Amino acid sequence: MSVERPPLEPLRPAFRLRFLSDEQLDQLQGATLDILERVGVKFPSEVALRILEEHGAQVDRATQVVKMSPDLVMRALSTVPRYFTMAARDPAYDLQLEDGVTYFTTDGCGVETIDFDSREPRPSRKSDVGEMARITDYLSSVAYYWPMVSAQDHGRTAPLHEMDASWNNTVKHVQSETIMGGPDARFAVEMATVLAGSREELRRRPNFSLVVCTIAPLVQDHAGIEGSLVLAEAGVPVGFLAMPTLGTTAPATLAGALAMGDAEIISATVLLQLAYPGCPVFHSLMQAWADPRTGTYVSYALDSRMRYAPVEMAHHWGMPSMGACYGTDALLPGTWQSGVEPALDPFWAGLTSPEIVTGMGLLRTYTLLYPESVILDDDIYHRARYALMNMDVNAETLALDVIANVGPGGHFLAEQHTRRFMRDAMKRAVTHQLDASGGYRDPLQVARDKVAWIRENHHPEPLDAAVQAELARILAAADRELA
Amino acid sequence: MSDPTPALQPIRSAYRLQMLDDQQLRDFRAGTLEILEDIGVRCPSDRALSLYAAHGARVDVERQIVRLPPDLVLSAMARAPRTYTMGARSTAHDLLLDGNALYAATDGCGIETVDFATRGRRASTRQDVADMARVADALPSVAFYWPIVSAQDHPATAPLHELAASYGGTVKHVQTETVMGERMARYAVEMAKVIAGDEATLRTRPPLSSLICCIAPLAQDREGMEAALVFAEAGVPVGFMSMANAGSTGPATVPGTIVAGDAEIVAALVLIQLAYPGAPVFHSLMTGVMDPRTGAHLATTWEGEAAYAAGVELAHAWGVPTLAGIFGTDATVPGWEAAAASAVALTICALCGAETGSGMGLLDACTVLFPEQLVLDADIYQRVRNNLARLDTSRAALALDVIRDVGPGGSFLFQAHTRDEMRRRTFSDLTNRREPEGGLRDPIEVAREKVARILAEHHPEPLEDAKQAELERILAAAEREMGAAATPQAIPSSTGAHR
């Protein structure tokens, strides 16, 4: 038996802010076009070079650097769909991307897990992917799932095993960030087709999508690009994620890093649109800093302004955006640093309104899974969700009659209005859970207990036995062929 | 040897947000006017009642209830200044409340201190007020100082000792939230006059302001109102704060609690404008939500935080500056909760154009001082301040020439542009600090060390000897006049205390 899964609660902000002016957006876009035309991007893939060359890009075979005229870029970008569907095993959880709604996911690809039972750190494995899929399947803040850690017990075919574990444990959309290369991508499409029922149905309601990282500065990943072409052909949404680091792989100025990362994303998007016009593609850019004192990778500088500038840049290109929330550098959950760094993320993201957002639940700069972290990040999410709501000001909520009844110096406790509204007036966050003596519990312990409760009580509908068997068969074939 | 106080770094938001639309603001204001006209506010001060009556309010003397016709409210509020200066000992640290900057203050009136040296909990003292004034003085994030804890070692005249200790420790503006009653307020004004140097400066650059709490629902405090009148007469800015609690001292709906709180504040602001037209005042709505199981006043529930921004916009709708609710966490120790729950309220208040805000440095519903919490909150403040600043998209910032030089697959590490620009990027001095053996240090520990370093090294420009002597003379006189009647107070216990 399983408890009922709460409905999704995406951000639907009542407020919107424009952080970049039209002029700034044009400046940034102009810089991207300038970089693509005059500096170029390296595509170490014969297939990609051929497609780009056929469509008029200037290809240097020796360096594999491709330069694109502004005209070519704009022509290719004109076919990118502004919105599309990210479908789920259960159609009730299909995400129809649209203006004014933001769907969040978990972080992914961690390498170490604090064991659910022994609480000892160990390398991550396939069962962790499944456990976290099941836990986040229950959370109203998690609209779709990134396999949170790497299935390191499956070596070469880990990315496909991560998909298998995810689909078996959540009814929500799954987004991989590890499937790389044409052969792997073809196995993934085969698995997804089994789940969808047919190639046509997969194209209509893609039950998974992929994030491909670019390599700063201005290089595409061979396997990433070739995998993305396979998925684009099948109609599976693909996003390109640039992660420029100010000071090492990117200029030490924010605008420079943004323009350069954007050029990486846009060049890959151009490729996909030239190859498969109209295929669903999304845009994502997460800047980081190299700490000049130590060289360490820093996700949150004290001045992290414009963390959500890429959202507006994506929209300026006419593409959906995946915003980058969370990703603390803290080593432990429930600590000051793990609270302070992401504290503003969902609120800022909501104000800029990306269509999708990653990534709740990992520590140590996307590498370490404490299962309870996702619950604390969920709490920060809901705080932002409430802060972004319109206040309901009407006769009933203003309660002037009740105020008149109580009068100066009186008390509202005994009023019927109080009994009626008190439940709504206070939802208990992890910070306001009571212990037996009426004190507030440690939020970290509350989060741990919630993970344990979900593990015990929430069991999403299993995949059809025939589908499970078919997925297992494909995995066995992949293990044989790819390993 | 003195040490210069760093320049202030107020939040100058490049962006503005309106949380309440015009109709919502009209609904709130109409609600407040209706409450003030039909229900009224209890004011247990004869002086205040006769002032209200003399200007046309309907006063029920027996029940001490004042009802205010809308015209009277609107004409009184029209006299309140929208912009004024809160002065400081050093002119460079004056605060111009003109809507272009948010100035943040510490929290105040805590009753327990986690001892700087022993780390044990104990009752707060005057020395704590002085030490933390020095810490606040060293932080560019803190623009003005609330005596952060109560000088409980001076029971009869604690609020005046808090002022003396504050002026001794910081050159910044000081705002009291404990001076109550006409007599004590006169002493406080006298002290402020000593700091200002003369009466005219006290009016143009008052180094003191005062915050008075209303009593929800819809009542004023006699001592508070009488102190407020003394301050207003002297030109010392005075603000009124409602801490109505949804479900107990306010309706169980956040808008209902906001409108009831707003009515309390506006009734008091009207009195000040009737008595001293044009006196500088401010509006402060810091409502909470009651925990239905324990009755506690909670400052950081998911649903309740929007009220802080609504308070900012209501103040502006009435044409006065605001003191916004920022920080003020329900957390009991420094850590995740205090960090995760603070930044959003500060950001919204800044986006809505708050002029001032208070609440940095205390925990456990504004009762307990962990000295390092002020440094931790200052770090959050800087994150918010930077987030609200504009992005530089100039040609130099776009760095196209550098990108071209480096090219696909290169490294930016050795570019001159990188060396120059990396120095301009700002990083937290609390996070990502390395242990000698390579591990990462706990930011809370780093914050504790920062407090210790400030206390050892930072000595702001001292008060002139003559002024110091004058303050002590005033304190002694106050002690003689008010101390005789008072017996030392019992030290409040550490749990369950809420302001």
Question: Burial level of A409, CB count in 10 A (0-12/13-18/19+)?
Answer: middle
pLDDT at B9 over 70: yes
Reported CATH class of domain A1-390+428-483: alpha beta
pLDDT tens-place string over residues B133-171:
999 999 999 999 999 999 999 999 999 999 999 999 999
Assigned domain for B62 exists: no
> How many angstroms away from the CA of B389 is the closest CA of chain A?
7
Chain A contact for B414 (CB, 8 A cutoff):
no
- Using CB atoms, which residue from A24, A333, A399 is nearest to B253? A399
Considering only CB atoms, which chain A residues are within 8 Å of B423? Answer: 292
Considering only CB atoms, which chain A residues are within 8 Å of B379? Answer: 302, 340
Q: Which chain A residue shows the shortest CA-CA distance from B216?
A: A409
Query: Distance between CA A133 and CA B28 in Å, rounded?
Result: 45
Considering only CB atoms, which chain A residues are within 8 Å of B39? Answer: 403-404, 407-408
Contact between B242 and B214 under an 8 Å Cβ cutoff? The reply is: yes
Considering only CB atoms, which chain A residues are within 8 Å of B260? Answer: 403
Considering only CB atoms, which chain A residues are within 8 Å of B394? Answer: 255
What value does the mean pLDDT take over residues B108-132?
Answer: 97
pLDDT at B483 over 50: yes
Query: Distance between CA B430 and CA B339 in Å, rounded?
Result: 13
Contact between B235 and B191 under an 8 Å Cβ cutoff? The reply is: no
Query: Distance between CA A28 and CA B395 in Å, rounded?
Result: 10
In which residue are the tokens 């993320």 written? A345
The length of chain A in residues reads 483
Considering only CB atoms, which chain B residues are within 8 Å of A141? Answer: none
Chain B contact for A38 (CB, 8 A cutoff):
yes
Q: What is the pLDDT of residue A291?
A: 87
Chain A contact for B215 (CB, 8 A cutoff):
yes
Which of A:449-468 have CB within 8 Å of B? none
Judged by CB atoms closer than 8 Å, whether chains meet at B255 and A393 is answered as yes
- Using CB atoms, which residue from B253, B398, B406 is nearest to A397? B253
Judged by CB atoms closer than 8 Å, whether chains meet at B383 and A340 is answered as yes
Judged by CB atoms closer than 8 Å, whether chains meet at B425 and A250 is answered as no
Q: In chain A, where are the structural domains located?
A: 1-390+428-483
Which of A:205-224 have CB within 8 Å of B? 215, 217-219
Contact between A246 and A285 under an 8 Å Cβ cutoff? The reply is: no
Judged by CB atoms closer than 8 Å, whether chains meet at A303 and B386 is answered as yes
Residue of B220, B305, B383, B412 best to disrupt the A interface, most CBs of A under 10 A: B412
pLDDT at A353 over 50: yes
Chain A contact for B181 (CB, 8 A cutoff):
no
The per-residue pLDDT of chain A, averaged, comes to 96
What value does the mean pLDDT take over residues B381-407?
Answer: 96
Chain A contact for B224 (CB, 8 A cutoff):
no
Assigned domain for B451 exists: yes
Query: Distance between CA B454 and CA B467 in Å, rounded?
Result: 25
Judged by CB atoms closer than 8 Å, whether chains meet at B398 and A387 is answered as no
Helix (H) or strand (E) holding A143: strand A142-145
Chains A, B: CB contacts within 8 A come to 381
What value does the mean pLDDT take over residues A227-233?
Answer: 98
- Using CB atoms, which residue from A219, A408, A424 is nearest to B42? A408
Whichever domain contains B189, its CATH number is: 3.20.20.480
The per-residue pLDDT of chain B, averaged, comes to 94
Residue of A58, A302, A405, A417 best to disrupt the B interface, most CBs of B under 10 A: A302
Judged by CB atoms closer than 8 Å, whether chains meet at A41 and B35 is answered as no
- Long-range contacts formed by B440-446: CB under 8 A, 24+ apart: B440/A331, B442/A335, B443/A335, B443/A336, B443/A337, B443/B376, B443/B379, B444/A336, B444/B334, B444/B335, B444/B372, B444/B376
The mean-pLDDT minimum among A348-352, B223-227, B237-241, B289-293 falls in: B289-293
Considering only CB atoms, which chain A residues are within 8 Å of B410? Answer: 217
pLDDT tens-place string over residues A380-400:
999 999 999 999 999 999 999
Residue of B26, B253, B385, B405 best to disrupt the A interface, most CBs of A under 10 A: B253
Q: Give the angle B202-B85-B227 at the CA atoms, nearest 5°.
A: 55
- Using CB atoms, which residue from A296, A384, A426 is nearest to B301? A426
3-class secondary-structure state, position B126: helix
Assigned domain for B415 exists: no
Confidence class for position B319, pLDDT limits 50, 70, 90: very high
Mind giving me the DSSP string for A33-73? HHHHHHT-EE---HHHHHHHHHTT-EEETTTTEEE--HHHH
pLDDT tens-place string over residues A81-116:
999 999 999 999 999 999 999 999 999 999 999 999
Count Cβ neighbours within 10 Å for each residue of A198-232 and write b for 16 or more, e otherwise.
Answer: eeeebbebbbbbbbbbbbbbbbbbbbbbbbbbbbb
> How many angstroms away from the CA of A193 is the closest CA of chain B?
37
Q: Which chain B residue shows the shortest CA-CA distance from A16?
A: B17
**Residue in A343, A240, A229 with CA at minimum distance from that of residue A279:** A229
What value does the mean pLDDT take over residues A439-454?
Answer: 97
Confidence class for position A47, pLDDT limits 50, 70, 90: very high
State which residues form the domain around B221.
Answer: 1-38+80-390+427-499
Q: Which chain B residue shows the shortest CA-CA distance from A41?
A: B408
Query: Distance between CA B305 and CA B346 in Å, rounded?
Result: 10
When divided into structural domains, chain B yields a total of 1
- Residue B217: is the preceding peptide bond cis (ω within 30°)? yes
What value does the mean pLDDT take over residues A358-365?
Answer: 96
Confidence class for position B391, pLDDT limits 50, 70, 90: very high
pLDDT at B490 over 70: no
> How many angstroms away from the CA of B134 is the closest CA of chain A?
24
Confidence class for position B368, pLDDT limits 50, 70, 90: very high
- Using CB atoms, which residue from B259, B400, B411 is nearest to A31? B400
**Residue in A185, A245, A191, A244 with CA at minimum distance from that of residue A211:** A185
pLDDT tens-place string over residues B17-71:
999 999 999 999 999 999 999 999 999 999 999 999 999 999 999 999 999 999 9
Confidence class for position B1, pLDDT limits 50, 70, 90: low
Contacts of B264 (CB under 8 A, 6+ apart): B41, B214, B215, B216, B217, B218, B219, B220, B240, B242, B244
Q: What is the pLDDT of residue B103?
A: 98
Judged by CB atoms closer than 8 Å, whether chains meet at A387 and B440 is answered as no
Assigned domain for B454 exists: yes
pLDDT at B488 over 70: no
Confidence class for position A426, pLDDT limits 50, 70, 90: confident
- Complex ipTM, two decimals? 0.96
pLDDT at B495 over 50: no
pLDDT tens-place string over residues B401-451:
999 999 999 999 999 999 999 999 999 999 999 888 878 899 999 999 999
Chain B contact for A383 (CB, 8 A cutoff):
yes
Judged by CB atoms closer than 8 Å, whether chains meet at B417 and A40 is answered as no
Judged by CB atoms closer than 8 Å, whether chains meet at A305 and B20 is answered as no
Contact between B313 and B282 under an 8 Å Cβ cutoff? The reply is: no
Q: What is the DSSP letter of A75?
A: H
pLDDT tens-place string over residues A262-309:
999 999 999 999 999 999 999 999 999 998 878 889 999 999 998 999
Judged by CB atoms closer than 8 Å, whether chains meet at B251 and A421 is answered as yes
pLDDT at B393 over 80: yes
Q: What is the pLDDT of residue B498?
A: 34
Q: What is the pLDDT of residue A294?
A: 80
Chain A contact for B30 (CB, 8 A cutoff):
no
Helix (H) or strand (E) holding A113: strand A112-114
Assigned domain for B433 exists: yes
Assigned domain for B230 exists: yes
**Residue in A404, A325, A407, A399 with CA at minimum distance from that of residue A358:** A325
Q: What is the pLDDT of residue A306?
A: 86
- For B442, the token pair is 């706990």
